[in-house]
Chain A
Amino acid sequence: MGLEALKEEITKALSTIVVEPVWAEAAGDLALHVLPGSLKAVAAALKGVGFRLLLAVAVVDEGETFRVVYPLCSLERRLRLILMTSVPRQAPDIDSLVDVWPAANWHEREQAELFGVTFVGHPDPRHLLLPDDWEGYPLRKDYKEPEVYRGISTERPYWEDEGCSRSN
């Protein structure tokens, strides 16, 4: 199936949600950029088109915004599509897609603890990997490591001699 035909089919499927889809290309795949408000409806529509498999949920810290990326896959139709949206850093709230793809559950928990993006409506918003008492969001670009964690010093004597700072 050609890219243009796929674009046309998706545009048709999204016609009641998105007036004019914003297309892009990411790593050789077709990418669709939507507003966070219409994300969940778009996701459901894309699942209807055949994208039944959510491969991952990724977050990119772009400064003023966080870009949330959902790589999708259709095994039956041998298609790939990347769904993207951007949320402001000041209020990083986004609809949870667990209702659409159950696979989003752990991915969203991981991104929530690492980037501080809030997935509204997530059924189980606990930490996934980090300890429960962890403070801060370690994959944000402005993350500052605490001096001490649970009474354990976090200093790096070997690296700080080389000029590496605490925050990287």
Chain B
Amino acid sequence: MHYTLRNKLPSTALFTTVDAVLNWGRLSSLWYLLFGTACCAIELMQTGGPRADLDRFGAVFRSSPRQSDLLIVAGTVTYKMASRIKRLYEQMADPKYVISMGSCSNCGGLFDLGYSVLRGIDKVIPVDVYVPGCPPRPEALTQGLLVLQEKIRKQRYLAREA
């Protein structure tokens, strides 16, 4: 940058792109829906707790889908529950993201042979990140969140769709 221009600007100015600012804001405040369907929800609580501390990445739970950016599908999903999860997803405001946590919501997992079990939440709603494990440890879910943040960092909202 030319030094004369720099001298004319206040010292607090930063130069960036709109995409980068939007993405930075979005990935730094991934509020997730307080929602669990089975035992993965216990690990989800651990991940939100003080030791794994998801808060340090800007992810805190919200009790309402209207205020949430992220849906963590934590646990086995039955056909009966699938329609409820779809409704919760539709109630969330854009931009919204989904992490499928654990084998059950990835593909049916341990309960794959059950008559009532949905074989993968991706049959109902789109999924951004799959976290394997039965259940995944808090470190794994944290890693999943970081992967999602990297994904958001690369998004381009203002680009014209090809």
B112 touches A158 (CB 8 A): yes
Q: How far is the CA of A149 from the CA of B115 in the complex (A)?
A: 11
Q: How many residues of B contact A (CB 8 A)?
A: 14
State whether the Cβ of A23 lies closer than 8 Å to any Cβ in chain B. Answer: no
Candidates A138, A153, A158, A159; contact of B123 at CB < 8 Å: A153
Q: How far is the CA of A152 from the CA of B85 in the complex (A)?
A: 14
Main SS class of interface, B: loop
A152 touches B107 (CB 8 A): no
Please, which residues of chain B bring their CB within 8 A of the CB of A156? 108, 112-113, 119
Q: How many residues of A contact B (CB 8 A)?
A: 17
State whether the Cβ of B116 lies closer than 8 Å to any Cβ in chain A. Answer: yes
Nearest-neighbor residue (CB-CB) of B124 within chain A: A152
Q: Mark B96-118, 1 if CB is under 8 A from A, else 0.
A: 00000000000110001101101
Instruction: Supply 24 A–B pairs (Cβ within 8 Å), ascending by A.
Output: A129-B80, A131-B80, A138-B115, A138-B116, A143-B115, A145-B115, A149-B79, A150-B79, A150-B82, A150-B83, A152-B79, A152-B82, A152-B123, A152-B124, A153-B123, A154-B119, A156-B108, A156-B112, A156-B119, A158-B107, A158-B112, A159-B112, A159-B113, A164-B113
